[in-house]
Amino acid sequence: MRRRRLRIIATCAFLIFTAACGFFLRGQFHGDPPWRHPVASSQTIHISNTVIQVDFGPGSPDLPKSTILHWVENAASSVATYYGRFPVARDRVLIEFAPGQGILRGTSWGDVGGSPAFHRLVLGEQTTQRDLDDDWEMTHEFVHSAFPSVDDDHSWIEEGLATYIEPIARVQRGFLPAERIWSDMMHDMPKGDPGSSDHGLDRTHTWGRTYWGGAQFCLLADVTIREQTRNQKGLQDALRAIVSAGGTIDKDWPLEKAFEAGDHATGTHVLINLYDSMRDTPKPVDLDELWRKLGVVHSSDGIRFDDHAPEADIRKAITRTPATGVIRPQP
């Protein structure tokens, strides 16, 4: 089922604020779907044979639009680097403005308004350069382009993939240090642990299980694929194969079809077997054991790496820039 994807931030203040922004925008656009909202100006990004149309809605942001466009380019470059190319041939981004500061909301759709992928980002008019430099949302939304639309019960894989891949893609592109994302994962991954009333990923639709439970699945899949292939392949290879098979946001696929394509590319059954074990059973992931094997050690300054850990090479491979290299927008 093709549907909207919205990053949920679990603070009441944020939800109230973004609801107010939504009211502000709806008042301007009379309830039209976002892909029909008015456009004040447009620019185009070309990257790896993809054309990304970036539209700006009405408003007066403090930052020049060229700076905002560069933020979109960096996110597109990160995703293209991770996948070896940008996932879809045509993409559209609508940047709308509302009172406030920072990236207030990001949502993605597939096959709407004549575009295979469409992303709407709401930015506060007082957004700063630092807000853009620290942002994860634009990259997160672009990652959604690279997986087929699946049934509502499987939203955990869509959000889990975007949550897991977004920081890795930015490390591979050179925008984040590896220490930063492993520290963040050590801190945030436990948010995906199953609770006492959990019934597995397909049947438990809480915020933590959808985003971080899905991210746990991806981390465990990545490590397990690398264990079984002697670190020759990883989740990245599986996901590239899914895109190559046509599994992008504008297509409706059964989840099993996507996992079968990914497993075929790695010569394993990791995705299907892991899904079977976690779909309707609250299977905890032993994160402490994963950190120990990977050599991610908690310290007073955040984390440190133990390069003598049994799977330190797997940790390094996950964030290493792929052999296909960095893919940049064309001038």
Per-residue model confidence (pLDDT) at position 301: 83
Q: Is the pLDDT of residue 11 over 70?
A: no
Distance (Å, rounded) from C-alpha 316 to C-alpha 295? 10
Which helix (H) or strand (E) covers residue 185, if one does? helix 178-188
Residues 6 or more apart in contact with residue 45 via CB below 8 angstroms: 51, 52, 54, 69, 72, 73, 76, 329
Tell me what the mean pLDDT of segment 84-101 comes to.
98
Is residue 104 within 8 A of residue 98, CB to CB? The reply is yes
**Domain chopping of the chain, boundaries:** 5-146, 152-319
pLDDT band at 29 (very low <50, low <70, confident <90, very high): low
Q: Give the pLDDT confidence of 282-308 residue by residue, as tens digits.
A: 999 999 999 999 999 999 888 999 999
Kindly report the number of other CB atoms within 10 A of residue 262's CB atom: 24
Tell me what the mean pLDDT of segment 268-288 comes to.
97
Per-residue model confidence (pLDDT) at position 30: 57
pLDDT band at 5 (very low <50, low <70, confident <90, very high): very low
Which residue, 232, 230, 231, 223, is CA-closest to 291? 223
Per-residue model confidence (pLDDT) at position 25: 54
